[in-house]
């Protein structure tokens, strides 16, 4: 970040007045760091990529619609969610679901904690802007925060 008078300009060009970080940016940016400390993002990405393949190859079935705040569309079966995923953040998960593309195929897994969460898919996964704030952490992994 560069300081310019009373404003800060981040690497993405977002201007922050008085040094304050907007809530959505702060929440989403800290989420990936906190999850990475508990379980590595690469381990989560490996599990998510395998889950997406199992769903798309009809090996795994959805367990119903996702939580209403989740950007995912269909929930993963509870038995398919390992404890390292359930407890990868200090707050309990509200939803673990598949994000579906326009054709109905899963392109990634969504870990949702109410208004914030992670999209985790293979490195080729691209997520378009759906929430108020979204940030790519590494190829195939994005944090988001929905602002209402």
Domain spans, the chain: 23-145
pLDDT bracket for residue 41 (50, 70, 90) = confident
CA distance linking residue 29 with residue 27, whole number of Å: 6
Residues 75, 64 contacting (CB under 8 angstroms): yes
pLDDT at 131: 57
Q: Which residues of 121-134 are buried (b: 16+ CB within 10 A; e: fewer)?
A: bbeebebeeebbbb
Q: Average pLDDT of 73-85?
A: 89
Model's pTM, two decimal places?
0.78
Task: Name the range with the highest mean pLDDT among 11-20, 32-41, 45-54, 92-101.
Answer: 45-54
Question: What CA–CA distance (Å, rounded) separates 139 from 23?
Answer: 24
Q: Which residue has the higher pLDDT, 90 or 147?
A: 90
Among 26, 21, 28, which Cα is nearest to 114's? 28
d(CA 135, CA 109): 16
Q: How many Å apart are CA 101 and CA 123, to the nearest integer? A: 16
Give the Cβ contact number of residue 44 at 10 Å: 22
């Amino acid at each position: 970040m560069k300081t310019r008078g009373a404003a800060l300009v981040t690497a993405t060009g977002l201007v922050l007045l008085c040094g304050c970080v907007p809530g959505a940016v702060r929440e989403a940016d800290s989420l990936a760091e906190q999850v990475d400390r508990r379980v590595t993002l690469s381990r989560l990405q490996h599990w998510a990529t395998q889950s997406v393949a199992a769903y798309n190859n009809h090996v795994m079935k959805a367990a119903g619609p996702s939580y209403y705040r989740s950007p995912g569309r269909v929930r993963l079966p509870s038995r398919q969610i390992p404890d390292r995923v359930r407890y990868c953040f200090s707050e309990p998960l509200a939803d673990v679901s598949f994000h579906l593309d326009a054709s109905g195929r899963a392109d990634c897994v969504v870990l949702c904690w109410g208004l914030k969460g992670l999209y985790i898919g293979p490195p080729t996964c691209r997520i378009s802007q759906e929430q108020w704030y979204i940030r790519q952490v590494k190829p195939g992994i994005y944090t988001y925060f929905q602002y209402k």
